[in-house]
Amino acid sequence: MRPTRAENQALLLEWASRGPRELGEWAAYLEQPDRVPLTCLPALAALDIAWHNAMAQQSEQTVWQVLGVPNPEAVRSCHTVGIGDAAFTRAALEAGKEAPWIKLKLDADTERTRAVIALVTRLTEQPVAVDFNQAFVKREEAIRSLECLPARQVFLVEQPLAVHADEDNLWLRARTALPIYGDESVQTEQDLQQKAELFNGINVKLMKCGGLRPALRLHAQARAAGLGTLIGCMAESVVATSAAGQLAGLFDYADLDGHVLISNDWV
């Protein structure tokens, strides 16, 4: 049974209470392997973000300067178009018409995929990344839907198959020219060590890997394996997406509009 939110918070607070008293010493503490259970990684990411922000304020620098990464100022996020009817899709595309590319959410309905792709390609010439969010149970269904995607406009496909469908992911990757990026399958450095051959790239999210420095390590590991990189987010506060944005200058693509998709951002 997975721990509850309260149990996760208690675990992280207990771990943090053993941490150093000096702010500067937390860098090494945050780097400790197996420091907290995987279920605590979103809470650890919040602690990691807060520490980096404090260090930036103390040194009168930006977070990206503290981390020693390229200036992300010129990087722009995609605009996400969720699953809905034709009117919804038209409105979402209109709202994102200034974005450098579109993240298009699709499901396992191949006929619907054909219809949505026809609409999208008629309404915009923006590059499109398709996110299936583990929609397919059968790899044959996945390849049929991928064959509907025009390579002239669709530049990557994200997580079409389930997390543990390793053999099917290899099968699918061998049968399409479209780059396949892992999201749910690759959340930690250990995941990437085990699954690098399954994908052409990975989607790195602070809430899934545990913060800014784990994200940097994942990026370096992906680059060493010859993989593409996308810095992504959950449906989360602008505090979290802004933190991820500090790393965006390193990544091939940025998908950081999660705060736009929620109505309860507390900032």
133-160 pLDDT, tens per residue? 999 999 999 999 999 999 999 999 999 9
In the chain, the percentage of residues whose pLDDT exceeds 90 is 80
49-77 pLDDT, tens per residue? 999 999 999 999 999 999 999 999 999 99
Domains present along the chain, CATH in parentheses:
5-67 (no CATH), 79-261 (3.20.20.120)
Position 40 scores a pLDDT of 80
**Model confidence at 35, in pLDDT bands (50, 70, 90)?**
low
pTM of the model: 0.92
Q: Is the pLDDT of residue 33 over 60?
A: no
107-124 pLDDT, tens per residue? 999 999 999 999 999 999
Mean pLDDT across the stretch 14-40? Answer: 78
153-210 pLDDT, tens per residue? 999 999 999 999 999 999 999 999 999 999 999 999 999 999 999 999 999 999 999 9
Long-range CB contacts (< 8 A, 24+ apart) of 185-189? 185/159, 186/218, 187/38, 187/41, 188/38, 188/41, 188/214, 188/218, 189/214, 189/217, 189/218, 189/221
Helix/strand/coil for 200: coil
233-258 pLDDT, tens per residue? 999 999 999 999 999 999 999 999 99
Q: Is the pLDDT of residue 99 over 90?
A: yes
Position 206 scores a pLDDT of 97
Other CB atoms within a 10 A radius of the CB of residue 90 amount to 15
SS3 readout for 162-175: CCCCHHHHHHHHCC
